[in-house]
Amino acid sequence: MSIDEPYFLVVYVQPGASSTEFSGMHGDNIKVRLQAQPQENQANEALINFLANSLEIPKSKIEIVSGTRGRTKKVKFHKSSPKLHQLLLSKR
């Protein structure tokens, strides 16, 4: 995959958790627990903030392309990082 190509990751989100963290797998998807509540876009914003901080990618380079109102979300990364590659490889 070239640097200019986007990366995609499908995550399963558990809002309203006691902490924000990666929490293993949910089926074929990476599970992310979020303290934020699933109202007024709080959980979506918290997911982008968490992924940006955890994967060392600017928030402006991350977007939720589907699933904004559900727990399963497809996330598009317009920039890569070594931590993103590590996360993608851990899914295999």
Distant-in-sequence, close-in-space partners of 68: CB < 8 Å, separation ≥ 6: 41, 44
**Can you name the CATH fold of 7-90?**
Conserved Hypothetical Protein Mth637; Chain: A; (3.30.1200)
Domain range annotation of the chain = 7-90
**Whole-prediction pTM value?**
0.92
List Cα–Cα distances, 36 to 20, 32, 46, in angstroms: 8, 11, 6
Residue 33 has φ and ψ, to the nearest 5°, of: -90, 135
Which of 2-11, 12-21, 24-33, 66-75 has the lowest average pLDDT? 2-11
At 27-68, the pLDDT tens digits run 999 999 999 999 999 999 999 999 999 999 999 999 999 999
- SS3 of the chain: helix, strand, coil, percent, to 5: 30, 35, 40
